[in-house]
């Protein structure tokens, strides 16, 4: 699954990357706020945030 996510992130525009960051942050926040969060889900969203950060750094 990691390779699919990585390839999809590389195909996004900068605006799309920023929207993905906002979405992942919202998902983490709402998931944790809902109580009894599933750590695997939160880690997956953080993984996406890390990949986006790497992609934005690569594009500089």
Q: Is the pLDDT of residue 14 over 70?
A: yes
Residue 23 to residues 13, 19, 30, 60: CA-CA distances in angstroms?
Answer: 15, 6, 10, 22
Distance between CA atoms of 35 and 26, rounded to whole angstroms?
15
Locate all alpha helices (DSSP H) within 1-60, ordered by sequence.
2-10, 14-33, 39-59
Whole-structure pTM value: 0.90
Sequence-distant (6+) residues with CB within 8 A of 38 are: 31
Residue 1 pLDDT:
67
- pLDDT (mean) for 21-32: 97
Domain ranges of the chain: 2-59
């Amino acid at each position: 699954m990691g390779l699919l996510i990585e390839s999809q992130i590389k195909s996004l525009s900068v605006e799309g990357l920023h929207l993905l960051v906002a979405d992942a942050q919202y998902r983490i926040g709402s998931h944790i706020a809902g109580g009894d969060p599933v750590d695997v889900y939160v880690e997956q969203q953080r993984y996406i945030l890390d990949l986006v950060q790497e992609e934005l750094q690569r594009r500089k």
